[in-house]
A = this chain, B = another copy of it.
Amino acid sequence: MAGASKKNRATGSANAITADLVAVLVAVTDGEPKIMTIANDGALPSGPFEFAHRSLQTGLRSWVEAQTGHPLGYVEQLYTFADRGRAGDATSPHSISISYLGLTREDKVGQGFEAHWSGWYEYFPWEDRRAGVPASLAKTLASRLRAWAKSAETTSLQRERWQRAAITFGLDDREWNEELVLQRYELLYEAGLIPEAVRDGISAAAVIPGRPMTGDHRRILATGIARLRAKIKYRPVVFELMPAEFTLLQLQRSVEALAGRLVHKQNFRRLIEQQQLVEETGAIAADTVGRPAKLFRFRHGVLAERAIAGTKLPLSRT
The chain A residues found within 8 Å of chain B, CB to CB, are 1-2, 4-5, 8-9, 13-21, 38-39, 43, 45-51, 54-56, 63, 67, 77, 79-80, 82-85, 93-94, 96, 98, 160, 163-164, 167-168, 174, 177, 180, 304-307
Contact = CB atoms under 8 A, between A and B. Distances in A.
Given A2-B47, A47-B1, A80 B77 contact: yes
A84 B2 CA distance: 21
A17 B84 contact: no
A15 B82 contact: no
Which 3 A-B residue pairings sit nearest by Cβ, starting from the closest? A1-B47, A15-B48, A55-B83
Nearest to A79: B77
A191 B245 CA distance: 37
Given A1-B46, A16-B18, A17-B18, A80 B98 contact: yes
B2 A54 contact: no
Of A13, A20, A307, chain B has the most CB atoms within 10 Å of the CB of A307
25 contacts: A1-B21, A1-B47, A1-B63, A2-B45, A2-B46, A4-B47, A5-B48, A15-B48, A15-B50, A16-B17, A17-B17, A19-B19, A19-B96, A49-B82, A51-B82, A51-B94, A55-B82, A55-B83, A56-B80, A77-B80, A80-B98, A160-B304, A163-B304, A167-B305, A168-B307
A307 B306 CA distance: 30
A19 B85 CA distance: 20
A96 B93 CA distance: 18
Contacts of A20: 5
Nearest to A7: B48
A307 B80 contact: no
Nearest to A94: B51
B1 A45 contact: yes
Contact of A307 (B13, B15, B180): B180
A56 B50 CA distance: 22
Contacts of A14: 48
A80 B100 CA distance: 11
B160 A54 contact: no
Contacts of A17: 16-19, 49, 51
A63 B16 CA distance: 20
Contacts of A83: 54-56
A84 B5 contact: no
Contact of A49 (B15, B48, B55): B15
A167 B1 contact: no
A190 to B, nearest CB: 14
Contacts of A21: 1
A55 B79 CA distance: 13
A56 B47 CA distance: 21
Contacts of A16: 13, 16-18
Contacts of A55: 82-84
Contacts of A18: 8-9, 13, 15-17
